[in-house]
Chains A and B, each alone.
Chain A
Amino acid sequence: MPSNLPYAADAESPLKPAELQVLRAQYEKEGDYVSVQTKFNYAWGLIKSNQRGDQQLGVQLLSDIFKTTPERRRECLYYLALGNYKLGNYAEARRYNDLLIEKEPGNLQAASLRQLIDDKVSREGLMGVAILGGAAVVAGIVGGMIMRGSRRR
């Protein structure tokens, strides 16, 4: 089964709009009684997209699948992790991915996804610290100026 999961790189290659449209049409055609596979197809197509809105919808559909079909949960974990990773929700991504690794220690895709998440988080973490630090400095300066201004008055 692990060999049947796509690597994270696969999620970075968006489908052509026409292809996504096919999946969407299928999903909409089946209406209320949509099959799990169709739902997944559409969700996966959405997650592969570059649009943030699409990705969010994809993750939402996946969580629907997760909630309604227990027998697909294990697979869904990976895709949820992947989707959240693409969305930048690393905490959620890690939550799902770690759970999957706990269940399947030998899952190569999950392992590589964990690596990706770690990398991303540490990089963004540094940047974030820098940004926040900068913001704090700016706030301090502004605050100081305001304080000074008020004292002057």
Chain B
Amino acid sequence: MGDTTSTHYPTAMSNISRQMRRPVVQRAVFSFSQQAPSELVRAKLSTSEIAHRALTYIPDDQLQNIPEDDNTYSLFQGFQASIPEGESEHRKGHRRRSSKQHKLLGAGDVEEDGPPTIQRLKKKRNAVNHKLEMLAVRKNMSTTEIRDIDHKIANLQNVRRTVLDRLATLETDEAEVEHELLELDNKIEEMQEALDEQSTLDQSTSSLNPPRAVTPDSESMDASFMSQSLYDKLPSSSSPKSKRRPTYAKRKSMPVLHEHLESGSHIRTIPAHNDTISALDFDQPFGTMVSAALDDTVRVWDLNLGRCMGFLEGHTASVKCLQVEDNIVATGGMDATIRLWDLSRAKYEPYEHRIVENGDEDKDEEDDGLGFGNEHEDAPPPPPPDAMGDCPLFVLEAHVDEVTALHLRGDTLVSGSADKTIRQWDLVKGRCVQTLDVLWAAAQASSTMSSTEPQWRPTGRAADATADFVGALQCFDAALACGTADGMVRLWDLRSGQVHRSLVGHTGPVTCLQFDDIHLVTGSLDRSIRIWDLRMGTIFDAYAYDAPITSMMFDARHIVCAAGEDVVKVYDKTDGRHWDCGTGVTTSVEDRMAGAKTSTVEKVRLKDGYLIEGRRDGEVGIWTC
């Protein structure tokens, strides 16, 4: 004991002298009388005490830095205000016993039921005053708290931005590494193939052309493959052959960046075409996009890098509609054909399989085929036969006028044409399995139904002349919805080939249509968007914009439209909010007056909050929403 105390005192002494040396806390401590020995002993003996001291110790620089007090209320006032009324009274009673006595007396007064005295009223007044003060304090507390929260939000936003940047870099790195992996895979495959070929060559020099087999694929490609244009935009680092395993098809990682960006933020703008975008679609966020424009080209884009991957060549006129489904692309053009492309194979084996449906069109087909035949005579050696079996590409020719709408789902493709028919195609067999005559159906419906219901009624708008007869299509299993130029939306049963419901409402040609399991959303040149209840066949909701709607798509949360403006019109289904997204949003009125050039949005596509818009000047903008 004596030992410990004897060590305590010197340390305590040094402790105190250290404190005395501190400039701020210069206190006249020259004896232990200022500090109780019990405190010293306790502080030195118990570890929890020491820990507590360490935790609560406040450094001197903080003690020096004490700003002037400019708070509107003190913490203690806040404390008083936040204690519930009854409890605070209880507390007050503790603080001033005399006041409790008074209160009791006052209570007694009330019980006496005597006339109100000035004293009592004054007391009451004081109480009310106190209440008022407390309310003011609480109000101040709330405002301060809101300010605090604002600060915190600002801080968190900053942190979020940093993390978002980090996420962006990570995704870029990820894509790069994946690309590297892919290249390595391809190299291995190539070497394997070279070995195999070598061995087969050694065994027998049969059908294969020896020099070609020896020539590296890429070289032979460069030398002889006809559709050079398809390749000159390919990423130069990899030979066409290395595209056998497409990144977009087998990406291991799923980009999630756009989900974390603020809605309406710009991801990328691609100057895709030189003329109005006529159709576009993409498979998944940061995946592959296919765009078509009135400049008569169809281009494939890597959305992650914003680079053109190649051209889809074959249509002899503009493509008016297209859809990307995994690796399959379906395009429908003004040349009345529908072409199907397999992106995973299209890189080096694009025009292999063609199927002629109608005998009477054999000749045209032959001619076409000849042209292509010439091309793929020069094509590089075919890939293994099983790969070919996996990647058939069709040309579907049966329509006699331009194809204006198509929809692909599973093995079924439906297409609508200006020849006033809708055709259903079986993609396994590669032929047309059903033709629906819209006018016939309309006529039949009018004959079987009451004559008062108009079945084909030209809307008499000027736009009709230019509007597509079949504006939009979508099928699901045996259900087919189509919107036509008469403003009608017809629901067909593909099994019977009959219209089983007509949705009347639009007063202009229907240009776009999409349904999920509950609702059908249609957009029309009559400027309105209509949301129908699919089961009831009744209108569920409708709203309109200032100009005809040319394109519309919805996902789980938003309905986006192109409505003749330089912005995409977005409707938030969950909170019912309308907002704009696109370059036009930041263009001020003054800029517009000054003649700032912005281009009208023609087509929109939306998937999982990843929005792509194609403009009249050929640019494609990518946004989050």
Contact = CB atoms under 8 A, between A and B. Distances in A.
Contacts of B87: 16, 19
B70 A71 contact: yes
A14 B70 CA distance: 30
A10 B56 CA distance: 22
Interface string A109-137: 00000000000111011011101100110
Given A73-B67, A88-B39, A124-B39, A139 B1 contact: yes
Interface string B51-67: 01101111000110111
B106 interface: no
B75 A37 contact: yes
A50 interface: no
B75 A75 contact: yes
Interface residues of B, number: 55
Given A19-B87, A63-B56, A139-B1, A124 B37 contact: yes
A89 B43 contact: yes
Interface string B92-113: 0011000000000000000000
B5 A1 contact: no
Contacts of A73: 62, 65-67
Contact of B39 (A6, A62, A72, A91): A91
B302 to A, nearest CB: 42
Contacts of A77: 66
A125 B36 contact: yes
A75 B74 contact: yes
Residue of B19, B38, B63, B66 with most partner-chain A CB within 10 A: B66
B34 interface: yes
B148 A35 contact: yes
A72 B77 CA distance: 13
Contacts of B27: 94-95, 98
Residue of A60, A67, A71, A79 with most partner-chain B CB within 10 A: A71
B75 A72 contact: yes
A5 B66 contact: no
A131 B398 CA distance: 111
Contacts of A79: 75
Nearest to B62: A67
B290 interface: no
B27 to A, nearest CB: 6
A33 B340 CA distance: 56
Contacts of A56: 52, 56
Interface stretch (B78-86, B222-230, B456-464, B558-566): B78-86
Interface string A76-103: 1101100000001111101100110001
Chain A: number of interface residues, binned into ranges = 35 or more
Contacts of A15: 91
Contacts of A98: 25, 27
B71 interface: yes
B553 to A, nearest CB: 39
B141 interface: yes
Contact of A60 (B1, B33, B52): B52
Contacts of B36: 88, 90, 120-121, 124-125, 128
Interface in A5-37: 5-6, 9-10, 13, 15-16, 19, 22, 33, 35-37
Given A37-B78, A99-B25, A128-B37, A72 B71 contact: yes
Nearest to A10: B95
Contact of B75 (A19, A36, A129): A36
Contacts of A91: 16, 19, 34-35, 39
A13 B95 contact: yes
Interface string B6-32: 000000000010010000110100001
A127 B38 contact: yes
Contact of B5 (A90, A95, A122, A132): A132
Given A56-B52, A63-B55, A71-B71, A41 B79 contact: yes
Nearest to A5: B76
A135 B1 contact: yes
A105 interface: no
A88 B55 CA distance: 16
A77 B71 CA distance: 15
Contacts of B76: 4-6, 44, 75
A128 B62 CA distance: 33
Given A10-B95, A125-B32, A132-B37, 16 more contacts: A4-B76, A5-B74, A13-B95, A19-B83, A41-B82, A44-B76, A66-B62, A70-B67, A75-B69, A75-B71, A80-B58, A92-B56, A95-B19, A95-B27, A124-B36, A124-B38
Interface of B: 1-2, 5, 16, 19, 24-25, 27, 32-39, 41-43, 52-53, 55-58, 62-63, 65-71, 73-79, 82-84, 87, 90-91, 94-95, 141, 144-145, 148-149, 152
